[in-house]
Amino acid sequence: MELKQSLSVHLEAEKPLRRYGAVEETAWKAEGLGSQLDIISMAETSMMPEEIELEMAKIQRLREVLVRRESELRFMMDDIQLCKDIMDLKQELQNLVAIPGNRKKTRKWLIS
């Protein structure tokens, strides 16, 4: 337990102030941030906040579509399972109906 705590403290001390999962690390300079406050640099591209908001809106719409499709798929899977259950019950009913008919035939055969 102490080893984990000491490792986490050691790793936190080595982390840069800001690091996003970019391919290359972003170099941050305290004095040069004034003119770049409205630009966020990720990997090799820069995006304005408005562009990020548009992308987030697109992602939200895609998420809503995916959630809707997932729900539709779940309903379809439920329908398929119900159809399988109905087919099994139908087969079982046919087997039950066929058995008394066979008994009647064998009784007639035995009586004759």
Residue-number span of the structural domain to which 78 is assigned: 2-24+36-111
Q: How remote is the C-alpha of 106 from its chain's centroid?
A: 58
Instruction: Confirm whether 76 is domain-assigned.
Output: yes
Instruction: Confirm whether 81 is domain-assigned.
Output: yes
Q: Cα(12)–Cα(18) distance, rounded to whole angstroms?
A: 12
Query: What confidence tens digit (pLDDT) does each residue in 80-98 have?
Result: 999 999 999 999 999 888 8
pTM surpassing 0.85?
no
Q: What is the pLDDT of residue 78?
A: 96
Domain count, the chain: 1
Q: What is the DSSP letter of 19?
A: -
Instruction: Confirm whether 30 is domain-assigned.
Output: no
